[in-house]
Amino acid sequence: MRMKVAVLGSTGYLGEQILEVLAKRRDFEIVLLSGYSKEKKLIEQAQEFNVPYAFNPRGSKNLWASSSTHLITDYNLLEELILRETEGVFFAASGIEFLDLFWKLLDVSHILWVASKEIIILTGELESYLLKERENLVPLDSEHNALWQMLKGVDREEVSRVYLTASGGAFYEWKSRWDDITPEMALAHPNWKMGAKITVDSANLVNKGLEVIEASCLFGFSFEEIEVVIQRESFIHALVELKDGFSLALLSPPDMRSVIINAISLPKRESNPFQHLDFSQIKSLSFDYPVPERFRGFYLATEAGKKGKGYPALFCGADEALVRAFLSREIAFGEISLLLEKVLEQEIDPPQSLEEVKNIYYRGYQLAKTLIREKESL
């Protein structure tokens, strides 16, 4: 029996890797793909996998005229199809566009493979410890997937703390001015191949701060129980420190395809046709701790997480706007953290509903845009 799945964000880098893995499996049937800016790629993917439905709210019916795939542009119809036609959904798109859908699916029988930090963080504004008693929610971030695997075999009361690892990004040893960093330089991650937004967030370690918030939302750990260490080689994805002094670590190559295979195979462990660790080639495993103070964005993200009460959503919205502005050369790299700090100075009321959480996210986005315009007028 083949599981029917949807891949949201299939034209992004992670989405492409998900399709690469699913292409080698006979136990999955893709019934829906989604993408936005790369419509021709979405059409090619739909043809390659013989997918009956594709979602693009800005899609051109003329481009799809010769395709056997039915183009969907209405969000309500998308939700209806996913509820009716699928058994599992990959949330591979960044941002919060599919937040409402995730919220609706959270407590139904669908399996949800989630890589979107924003969706987890914004959902966590209303419900903590998302993985508690939920077997249908599977983290797709490499660090959280590693924790998810290790914590399955450990009594929660035996855990002292958990560690997320960070490569340090492209500028861990950078000695020059932050404002000299160009988008091309920020997008050159030393270990991982990822989309533009997450790669920039990794360059200033904002991404790792968001992952700390995400870990708290998923696993229910306090921020005092979550640490971050720099692991430059990116072979160790997370560690669990036990109360008796022993620690568990999960190692694999820095390749998201390994994470995807694990996430769709458990409780079994299936053969991995992609990369495997060659321990004879690992000359050292280096650690550095704590994160250097010059990575201000990391500490701002964790500060937003500790404040809670809507500030994580505000931070996520502002970061989305600021990364876009950096990539379009409207602001300098160093200005991302400076403007994020100003956004966190805002007073907000704690959200009481999903709609209020989304409004705070969009408020953060607009606040950042306003700060960019004010900077340009000086």
Q: Band of the pLDDT at 173, cuts 50, 70, 90?
A: confident
Same domain, 194 and 304: yes
Give dist(CA 184, CA 180) in Å, integer.
11
Is residue 245 situated within a structural domain?
no
73 and 193 assigned to the same domain: no
Residue among 342, 213, 264 at smallest CA distance from 17: 264
Same domain (yes/no): 351, 208:
yes
**Burial class of 70 by CB neighbour count within 10 A (0 to 12, 13 to 18, 19+):** middle
Q: Is the pLDDT of residue 277 over 70?
A: yes
Render pLDDT for 106-135 as a digit per residue (tens, 0 to 9).
Answer: 989 999 999 999 999 999 999 989 998 898
User: Does 66 share its domain with 189?
Assistant: no
Task: State the pLDDT at residue 267.
Answer: 84
DSSP tag of 180: G
Domain harbouring 308, CATH code: 1.10.1740.10
User: Do residues 351 and 303 share a domain?
Assistant: yes
Mean pLDDT of 204-215: 96
Is 310 part of any domain? yes
70-84, 170-184, 240-254, 313-327 — which is least confidently predicted? 170-184
Q: Please tell me whether residues 5 and 118 are part of one structural domain.
A: yes
Q: What domain count does the chain have?
A: 2
Give me the CATH number covering residue 90. 3.40.50.720
- Per-chain mean pLDDT for the chain: 94
194: pLDDT strictly greater than 80: no
pLDDT at position 281: 83
| pLDDT surpasses 80 at 377 | no
**% of the chain at pLDDT higher than 70:** 99
Query: Which residue, 207, 216, 123, is CA-closest to 162?
Result: 216
Query: Residue 32: which residues within 8 A CB-CB, separation 6 or more?
Result: 6, 7, 51, 52, 53, 54, 55, 72, 78, 81, 82, 85, 86
103 shares its domain with 183: no
Range of the domain at 84: 1-140
Same domain, 72 and 181: no
Is 263 within a domain? no
Q: How many other CB atoms are found less than 10 A from the CB of residue 300?
A: 23
Q: Could you read off the pLDDT of 51-99 as tens digits, one per residue?
A: 999 999 999 888 998 899 999 999 999 999 999 999 999 999 989 999 9
Residue 378 has pLDDT above 60, yes or no: no
Summarize pLDDT for 350-360 with one digit per residue, the tens: 999 999 999 99
Laid out side by side, the sheet with 247-251 consists of 226-230, 159-166, 236-242, 247-251
Report how far residue 239's alpha carbon sits from residue 185's, in angstroms, rounded to the nearest whole number: 30
Would you state the pLDDT for residue 73? 96
pLDDT (average), residues 195-214: 93
Helical segments of 6-69, H only: 13-22, 39-48
Average pLDDT over residues 202-209: 94
- Could you tell me if 203 and 340 lie in one domain? yes
For residue 289, the model assigns a pLDDT of 83
Report yes or no on 153 lying in a domain.
no
Distance separating alpha carbons of residues 72 and 74, to the nearest angstrom: 6
Which domain-ending residue is among 140, 157, 182? Answer: 140
One domain, residues 193 and 109:
no
Same domain, 111 and 191: no
